[in-house]
Chains A and B, each alone.
Chain A
Amino acid sequence: MTVFDGEMREFLRVVLVAFAGGVGWVTVYALGLVGVSAARRGGGRRAVGWVLAVVCFLVAVAGVVVGLRLMLAGRRGLE
């Protein structure tokens, strides 16, 4: 295996991780919006809607925090 292969394999890994992270993040946020929409409509789904919205928005924020913490951990390894 050449260095060239190694870099390209790493780049493909970057794309795959970004795809999963990016699409996953917007999906979770969109589900949160669905929850807010259901909660605002009222009726029997009101409570379920709020729970879905809160859980999804918390997961979205947690995803960002975990990602940034992983980056910071990698930086400390270089210092």
Chain B
Amino acid sequence: MDTGPLLLTVVVAAALVFAFTNGFHDAANAVATSVATGALRPYAAVGLSAVLNFAGAFLSLKVAATVAEGIVDSRVITLPVVFAGLMGGMLWNLVTWYLGMPSSSSHALVGGLVGTAFVAVGASAVKGMGVVSVVLLPALLSPVAAALVAGAGSWVVRWVTRGVPAGMRERGFRAGQIGSASLVALAHGANDAQKTMGVIMLALVTGGAVGAGEAPAGWVVVSSAAAMAAGTFFGGWRIVRTVGWGLVRIRGAEGFTAESGTAALVLVASDSGFPLSTTQVCCGSVVGAGIHQGVSRVRWRVVAELAGVWLVTLPGAAALGALVWWGARWVGGMQGVGLMFVLVLVAAFWFYVAADLRPVNASNVNAERVGRRMKWEEA
């Protein structure tokens, strides 16, 4: 019996599950500062973000092409390799969501694919130059660039509006945050949904369903966008809390400039085909806007923890992807892939239940945090 089509279906399903976790994990990028400043109510924020995530996916296809062709060599990898890479990225997303750490879903995906391709095929399967120039260096530079854009924007805004009464200023920028948060959601859809499209295209090329270099079909775009929008609507509140309240206590003007800086950088990068991490850009922007209030206002301990998580994201997701691949190979064939898929879904359910024991949701997302990372005070 030819299990090729069934395997391809499972890999596409895995990609869509990854897109759901991507939306869930990265909901914070668009909504965190708006929720923290009170510009938008939590459910209104994730609803708006989900709709615009979906719309954003239709803006560009260049990042999808980069992910499909620029990270691993589709001629030498197999469908189980793509599957294991996706599962590595997804598991990393779940772990960091549970810890409330805004790590990069994009780097988790790239790390999973690279790690799995490396152990399954060897170094020849990894396009090293592509990974370094399109993923690693932008990953190091983009948070700094975002901080510069948001910091400069905050300085200009403060100077321009120095004569505006404080109350009107705060209300004006909170209103502006509805627009800037919408732009971030659009940018997130444009950049991150394309990564799922790219992996589905990689799977379709690897499985021989389409030729290399083809643009994603309509169903690929729509299903990726819908899966990510659904994930966003569920809102990863643990990360929303960290980004909105953990890095710096943000006000309307800084929230507006942070979101505008994030949107500008991610949209321009999407148009140029760079798979930037929206999460890193968002956190960099928040810190840049926060520094403008005073260096001591930024919680540098949390920033250092984030930097640590960002550094281990690629190798961590790579190791998880490799583990899934070895597991699938040990069992063998379609059964191995199916069993690992079920095990990862069980792990996802376990994380969900464990997180529910100490819930962070729309009702307590703006509660004061106490102490370090996960020591939240309930609302």
- Cβ–Cβ contact B61 & A25, under 8 A: no
A22 adjacent to B164 (CB under 8 Å): no
Given contacts A3-B129, A14-B265, A79-B215, contact A71 B161 (CB under 8 A): no
Main secondary structure of the interface of B (DSSP, over half): helix
Residues of chain B within 8 A (CB-CB) of A26 are 153, 156-157, 256-257, 260-261
Total interface residues on B, using CB and 8 Å? 50
CB distance from B319 to the nearest CB of A (A): 27
CA distance A21 to B152 in the complex (A): 12
**How does the 8 Å CB contact mask read for A11-40 relative to B, with 1 for contact and 0 for none?**
101110111011101110111011011001
Give the tally of cross-chain contacts (CB within 8 A).
Answer: 125
Q: Which size bracket describes the interface of A in this complex? A: 35 or more
- Check A72 for interface membership: any CB of B closer than 8 A: yes
> Of A31, A64, A78, which one neighbours B160 at CB under 8 angstroms?
A31
**Given contact pairs A19-B149, A75-B59, A13 touches B264 in the complex (Cβ within 8 A):** no
Among the listed A4, A15, A79, which residue makes an inter-chain contact with B141, where contact means beta carbons less than 8 Å apart?
A: A15
Whether A78 pairs with B168 at a CB distance below 8 angstroms is no
Using A25-B260, A26-B260, A78-B62 as known contacts, say yes or no to A18 and B269 having CB atoms under 8 A apart. Answer: yes
Whether, in the assembled complex, B274 has its beta carbon less than 8 Å from a beta carbon of chain A, the answer is: yes
CB B7 to nearest CB in A, in angstroms, measures 28
Chosen A-B contacts, 19 in total, with CB atoms closer than 8 Å, are: A8-B137, A11-B274, A15-B265, A18-B269, A22-B153, A22-B257, A22-B261, A22-B264, A23-B149, A23-B152, A26-B156, A27-B160, A37-B161, A37-B165, A37-B168, A60-B179, A74-B271, A75-B60, A79-B215
List the interface of chain A (C-beta within 8 A of B): 3-4, 7-8, 10-11, 13-15, 17-19, 21-23, 25-27, 29-31, 33-34, 36-37, 40, 60, 64, 67-68, 70-72, 74-75, 78-79
